[in-house]
Amino acid sequence: MTVGDRPAGRDIAGIGAIVLAGGRASRLGGADKARIEVAGRPMLESVARAAASVADRVVTVGPGGDVREDPPFSGPVAGIAAGLAALPERADLVVVVACDLPDLDADTLRSLVASLCGPAALAVDAAGRDQYLLAAWDRRALAARLSALERSGGLAGRSVRSLYDDDEITRVSVGDPARDVDTWADLAARGPVAFAHVAAVLRSGLTPLPPTGRAPLDAMGAVLAAALVTVDPMPREPVSAMDGYALSGPGPWRLTEPARRAGDGSPVILPPGAAAPIATGAPAPTGTDRVLRHELVEVSPDGSGPPVVGALPAAAGVDDLRPVGEDWPAGHELAPAGTTLDAALASAGLSAGLSAVSVRGPVRAVIVTTGDEVLPADSPSPLPPGRIRDTVGPLLGPVLTRAGFVTGPGGPAAHCPDTADAVDALVSGAPDAVARAGSGDVLVLVGATGRGVADHLRPALRHAGARIVLDGVRVRPGGSQIVAVLPDGRVLVGLPGNPLAAISAAATTGRALVDALTGRERPPVLTRVAGLDGLAAPTRARVLPARPDGSGGWTLTGRVRTAHLADLAGAPVLAVVPEGAGPHDPVELVDWV
């Protein structure tokens, strides 16, 4: 900073800067806000760089910073006090700035410093709101305010607003550089988001489908909206685990009739010293103390009466009687909310006596392709000049199904012409356009996500008043993708037109979208691969075909072409290589078929 930039009439020995990075980021789900990247750079790094352009010394306050507020997470006022104590005494002017201002630049800070003519110069954003964590302070005034607050109850938990006196501060309109990132929506509004943040952005920006009650077998593929809790114990009554003999009292036992079979609910009492044949799954007679399978007993004839059943030595300690609730009692949680109700869990629900389960979904998707140059997949050769076959639309159904959607019957996807009117009608929910596309929770539109002369999607979204949740992801292939909420409540997913990019985005963002709409909890499948440092890109994630290497690992294809799917041949999964990944970082595996 030059002398001419400094406040008129003041002799400044030095300028210090305090960058606050110690909040809990509760509206970001507890993410490390300081290290969230905007435009490919952590916000803390961007803010610290701007601060360093005007300050002789920059102190960061927070986890991993130069100092911490005392106690940790006690609020920004305590953080400012900790930062001030760490600045050299010669810094008689102090810039205070939060770490969540990724648009902050040196000129904005210079204007604040140059405007300081009292205790503080406070930034005002484009909406006219005071930004209390973007200000220039006279050090003595700041120290005096902190001391006064300390004496009047301490600094912990204090609002930053309490530091300021409206009659003594100078307000400076700085516009967009004062925009902060408090929510995932704030982050998404700044352009393509990191691949790692897609799931959080979608969960924050989309409303889950409402829960519905369905019979277990009708709800397969949906996601539990409430925990799956048993009504009946398993088993509901004492039953035999093996074909053998029900026994009462100490042996040997006299054999009685009749035999007990599965499904036999007749009231039978087994007296002491008696044995009854019993089948697997049959209810045990009243009075049964033990069941032994056939191979653990010996049946001997007795000329004076019924045969005698005796236990063999190998039967010591064995009991094949299953007590009530051996597998689970009534009221037991079989699965938590967020679990996908697969066939096995649906079957278990039936065993547990459930007639209905509370679920979200399945998520119904309809597919619409764009591109006037695209002909049906079975178009014969030779094709007219400039025309191509639809090599992605017919394949998207299975890919989306794998991601968790339910798609309509097979066949050609609906097609939307490359005209502004046609895209407007589809996006706005015009009855004819919806009838041609089909009804669903999610409209999957292939193509038109770029900004070329034939791409009418973004203008159509604006005309319809749609709310864009996600516009671009820092990933290749598949970065040009859009997720928006349409006025009629449908969710639109715009996929890139190139086949490999469309498949990649459908498999990855598609999964995250189902998670957001259903509350599905889906831990990622992570692994490590050799040679990763040569495959990672510094500013974006990469989605690469992965093939088994024959020894339990995976081999990734480093160079792929997006205009066709030839590079996916024989690759059952896609590997997501994080941006800037090191050689030992894990990659996520996504099964796309």
Contacts of 242 (CB under 8 A, 6+ apart): 280, 291, 293, 294, 320
Instruction: Answer yes or no: do 222 and 243 share one domain.
Output: no
Pairing of strands 297-302, 193-194: unpaired
Instruction: Answer yes or no: do 461 and 568 share one domain.
Output: no
What is the C-alpha to C-alpha distance for residues 22 and 36, in angstroms, rounded to an integer? 14
- 587: DSSP letter: E
Which among 318, 329, 154, 96 has a CA at the least distance from the CA of 230? 329
Residue showing tokens 């979608």: 202
What is the C-alpha to C-alpha distance for residues 555 and 567, in angstroms, rounded to an integer? 13
Instruction: Answer yes or no: do 153 and 53 share one domain.
Output: yes
Token couple for 38: 């905007």
Instruction: Answer yes or no: do 435 and 460 share one domain.
Output: yes
Number of domains in the chain: 5
Question: Does residue 492 sit within a domain?
Answer: yes
Question: Does residue 173 sit within a domain?
Answer: yes
Q: How many residues does the chain have?
A: 593
pLDDT, residue 9, reads 43
Instruction: Answer yes or no: do 269 and 312 share one domain.
Output: yes
What is the C-alpha to C-alpha distance for residues 204 and 199, in angstroms, rounded to an integer? 9
Instruction: Answer yes or no: do 382 and 480 share one domain.
Output: yes
| 43 CB-side CA count, 13 A | 28
CATH code (residue 426): 3.40.980.10
Burial class (CB in 10 A: 0-12, 13-18, 19+), 68: middle
Contacts of 1 (CB under 8 A, 6+ apart): 15, 53, 54, 110, 113
Question: Does residue 344 sit within a domain?
Answer: yes
CB 20 within 8 A of CB 98: yes
Calculate the CA 504 to chain-centre distance: 17
Question: Does residue 300 sit within a domain?
Answer: yes
Q: Tell me the β-bridge partners of 240.
A: 321
pLDDT, residue 3, reads 34
User: Before 71, cis peptide (omega within 30)?
Assistant: yes
Q: Tens-of-pLDDT digits for all 593 residues of the chain? A: 343 344 444 555 699 999 999 776 666 776 778 788 877 788 899 999 999 999 999 999 998 899 999 888 899 999 999 999 999 999 999 999 999 998 899 999 999 999 998 899 999 998 899 999 999 999 999 999 999 999 998 999 899 999 998 778 899 999 888 888 888 888 888 889 999 999 999 999 999 999 999 999 999 999 999 999 999 999 999 999 999 999 999 989 999 878 899 988 888 899 999 999 999 999 999 999 999 999 999 999 887 889 999 999 999 999 999 999 999 999 999 999 999 999 999 999 999 999 999 999 999 999 999 988 888 888 899 999 989 888 888 889 999 999 999 987 766 788 889 899 999 999 998 888 888 888 899 999 998 888 877 788 999 999 999 999 999 999 999 999 999 999 999 999 999 999 999 999 999 999 999 999 999 998 999 999 988 888 999 889 999 999 999 898 999 998 899 889 999 999 999 999 998 888 889 999 999 98
Instruction: Answer yes or no: do 552 and 440 share one domain.
Output: no
Question: Does residue 187 sit within a domain?
Answer: no
CB 548 within 8 A of CB 538: no
CB 296 within 8 A of CB 312: yes
Instruction: Answer yes or no: do 38 and 149 share one domain.
Output: yes
Q: Which domain does 266 fall in, by range? A: 239-322
Question: Does residue 381 sit within a domain?
Answer: yes
Which among 509, 580, 505 has a CA at the least distance from the CA of 42? 580
Which among 431, 427, 459, 430 has a CA at the least distance from the CA of 443? 427
Instruction: Answer yes or no: do 335 and 272 share one domain.
Output: no
Q: Tell me the β-bridge partners of 223.
A: 340, 360
pTM over 0.95: no
What is the C-alpha to C-alpha distance for residues 129 and 510, in angstroms, rounded to an integer? 37
Residue spans of beta strands (DSSP E) within 352-436:
357-360, 363-369, 374-375, 388-389, 405-407, 414-415
pLDDT, residue 526, reads 94
